[in-house]
Amino acid sequence: MKTAFVTGATAGIGIATVRRLVADGWRCVATGRRQERLDALVAELGADKVLPLCFDVRDTAALDAALASLPEGFRDIDLLVNNAGLAQGLSAAQNANLDDWQTMIDTNITAMVVLTRKLLPQLIERKGAIIAIGSVAGSYIYPGGNVYAGSKAFVNHFTLALRADLHGTGVRVTSIEPGMVETEFTLVRTGSQEASDSLYRGVGLRACRRISTSTGWN
């Protein structure tokens, strides 16, 4: 049985990814800051299938401790899903809150590259795979998207850079750039359930700009 490491598995795209992977026969390390959500996921899918790791991805010391705590059976990672991420605010750049910008850069960029670097040696050894969740916002910009859009452009570009560096190692690298998906994303971004409900109301189509795959993905 193969093992995936999925960040941001307490909600939205991450929790759906864990459910799908487990249904397809994978074991998953599921991460996030909300312990009760991780506990519920373990109760739902089974402790033999899901290993919860509760930590903030921006905290490198906590990440190191979490990785060191992985038990036999969840220690050998075949697939890294870099999903944890967020947007904060929708202000134009000239009015934006710098703390919001820093939070997005720390979470969407820095934490992702740190975790990826730490898992790369074993992913290479196991000829594993990396999937990064970018966004259409990384290519198609809207007012107020500024640093969020820039961080997602980084995700997409970093994925292409990884593919170049890892060519010949057997590691497969993919980015997925979803369009609007109804999750907790807009609630987190705006702090308003009403804003979230109104954005997603009536949205029937779910767009995905590109799924880029390296040779050999199937």
- Residues taking part in catalysis: 148
β strands within the chain, DSSP E: 3-6, 27-32, 50-54, 79-82, 129-133, 172-178, 208-212
Q: Quick one: which segment of 9-17, 45-53, 64-72, 210-218 binds ligand NDP (CB under 6 A)? A: 9-17
Site string for ligand 8X3, 125-154 (x = CB under 6 A): ----------xxx-----------------
Helix (H, G, I), strand (E, B) or coil at 63: helix
Contacts 24+ apart (CB under 8 A), 65-73: 66/31, 67/118, 70/29, 73/3, 73/27
Kindly report the CA angle at 21 between 109 and 118, in degrees rounded to 5?
Answer: 35
Look up residue 52 and give its two tokens. 């919860």
Cα dihedral 156, 162, 167, 173 sign: negative
Instruction: Provide the minimum distance between the beta carbon of 91 and ligand 8X3 in the complex, in angstroms, as a whole number.
Output: 14
Q: Which residues, numbered 149-208, are part of the site for ligand NDP (CB under 6 A)?
A: 178, 180-181, 183-185, 188
Q: Quick one: which segment of 40-48, 52-60, 89-97, 210-218 binds ligand NDP (CB under 6 A)? A: 52-60
The binding site for ligand NDP (CB under 6 A) comprises 8-14, 32-34, 37, 56-58, 83-86, 107, 133, 135, 178, 180-181, 183-185, 188
The binding site for ligand 8X3 (CB under 6 A) comprises 135-137, 180, 185
